[in-house]
Structures are given as structure tokens and as C-alpha cells.
Structure 1
Amino acid sequence: MDRIFSLDEARSLMPDVRAKVADLVALRADLAEISFDLADAGSSPLGGIPERKALEARIGEILLWFGDQGIELKGAAPILVDFPAELDDESVRLCWVEGETDLAWYHRTELGFAGRRPLPR
């Protein structure tokens, strides 16, 4: 069975989530730059194909961490994560987007991001 988070459980993981996201943001930018440079000029100040493959592997490791925690990664630019949860006996996702300071939003599972609402106080 998939993990169901309480709000406290999800919030307790947020320092790790933010750290992993910070790493992903840096890796995402480096991968975009090295890929563009290699395609455009055949070389990059960031390295060559081995360095690009290493960036891809590091990104893959971080993505696995999210899955291992039961956290759903829904977007890469910006990074969007969902924590499966229940609110008032309804299946929801506690929703956080890169750059937000707190886990303060949710949406019904079947509605996705378009159904985002602030968490009740």
C-alpha cells in the first residue's frame, strides 16, 4: 500500500525535501547548460558526455529518494511534490512547489494542481 502522510509527517520531511530540491535545481541547470553546449558547440565548460551522464545519474538518485519516501514528484521545472494524505476522509495531496516557504496547500487527488487550495487552519 502507498504511504499516506499526516500533515505533521509531511512537514517533518520538508527540510530534507528543500535540500534535495536545492540540489535538483543546481543539477537541472547544469544539465541544461551542458546539454545545450554539447549540442550547439560540441563542448562545454562543464565537461563532456561523461560529466553529462554523471549529472543524469545524480538526478536519478535524488528522484529515487522521493519515491522511497512515498513522495510523488509531479513537476521538474518548477519542482512540484505531492504527499498522499487524507483530509476529512477524502483522498488529497499535500502540495508544495519549488520556492514556497511552507507546506501550506492541498488538492483533491483527482483534481491535481488546478484544484489547489490553502490548507485549513
Structure 2
Amino acid sequence: MALFTVAEARAELARLRPTLDRLVAVRADAAELAASLSPGGTPTPLGGMPELKAAEALLDELITTVQDTGVHLKGLAPLLLDFPADLGGEDVLLCWLEGDAGIDWYHRVDLGFAGRRPLPS
């Protein structure tokens, strides 16, 4: 498993931003399409079943693009990314949650999101 430094993780997040923004938009479209196709759903100008299938395929492609970088995609709604790292000799995951300005958090591998702490200055 490749490890990121804090600087590398921040650079990778910056590089991934367009992909993440697209993922958020397609995620919203897929949710709207799925709701419109459910019993009693309100039709949407986005289309129907073919457009939902296309959105799902694009979501899979975008997710693969993120995962191919070595970043762990832990959540889709909201997006939650973990960047494997070594911090002071301890294996950690640098953590980014949709809405965060940047990578300013980490957690121990064994604790997960509940153990999220601010990165030391």
C-alpha cells in the first residue's frame, strides 16, 4: 500500500477536485432519477431509466478513477476520502470529508472516522 505524505495527499486532493465535483453532480442526478422512477415519483426533466443507468455507469467510472490513485473512498454521500499515511511512525489515514476545505484531519487506522483528530501544526 502506497503511503501519502500530508503534502502529497493535499496535492492529490487538489488534482482530484474536478473528479469529485463531477461525482457529486452525477450522484445528485442519479438520486433524482431514481426518485422519479419509484412508485409515485415525480417525473424529472433529466430523463428516465436509460439516463439513470448512464449515471450509475458514470458513477462507477468516477469512483474507479478515485480509487486508482490509492485513495480510499469510504463514503459516497457525503464523500469521505482516506489517504493512507505515516504520521510520526504511526499508520494513519489522512481524512477528507465533503465540505472540508482541505486535508486537515487524520485518524488511526483502527479507529475510523470516530477517532478523527486535527492534524498537528
The structure whose RCO (Cα within 8 Å, separation 6+) is larger is 2
2:82 paired residue number: 82
- Once residues 88 and 102 of structure 1 are traced to their aligned partners in structure 2, the CA distance between those partners, rounded to angstroms, is 20
Superposed displacement of residue 43, structure 1: 4.6
Equivalent position SS for 2:68: helix
- The one-letter code of the counterpart of 2:6 is L
Superposed displacement of residue 41, structure 1: 4.1
2:104 paired residue number: 104
Note the alpha carbon deviations across 1:50-96, whole angstroms, 9 max, x for none.
Answer: 11111011111110011110000011111000000011111100000
From the two aligned structures, give the one with the greater helix fraction.
1
> Normalising by the residue count of structure 1, what TM-score does the alignment of the two structures yield?
0.93
- Once residues 15 and 67 of structure 1 are traced to their aligned partners in structure 2, the CA distance between those partners, rounded to angstroms, is 15
> Normalising by the residue count of structure 2, what TM-score does the alignment of the two structures yield?
0.93
- Contact preservation (8 Å) 2:82, 2:96: yes
Extract unaligned runs of 5+ from structure 1: none
Identity of aligned residues (%): 49
1:119 paired residue number: 119
Equivalent position SS for 1:69: coil
Alignment of 1:1-121 (within 5 A): 2-39=1-38, 40-41=40-41, 43-121=43-121
- Once residues 42 and 10 of structure 1 are traced to their aligned partners in structure 2, the CA distance between those partners, rounded to angstroms, is 41
**Count of aligned pairs between the two proteins:** 120
Greater Cα offset, 41-50 or 92-101:
41-50
- Once residues 92 and 12 of structure 1 are traced to their aligned partners in structure 2, the CA distance between those partners, rounded to angstroms, is 18
- Once residues 91 and 41 of structure 2 are traced to their aligned partners in structure 1, the CA distance between those partners, rounded to angstroms, is 49
- Once residues 88 and 27 of structure 1 are traced to their aligned partners in structure 2, the CA distance between those partners, rounded to angstroms, is 38
What RMSD in Å do the two structures reach over aligned CA positions?
1.3
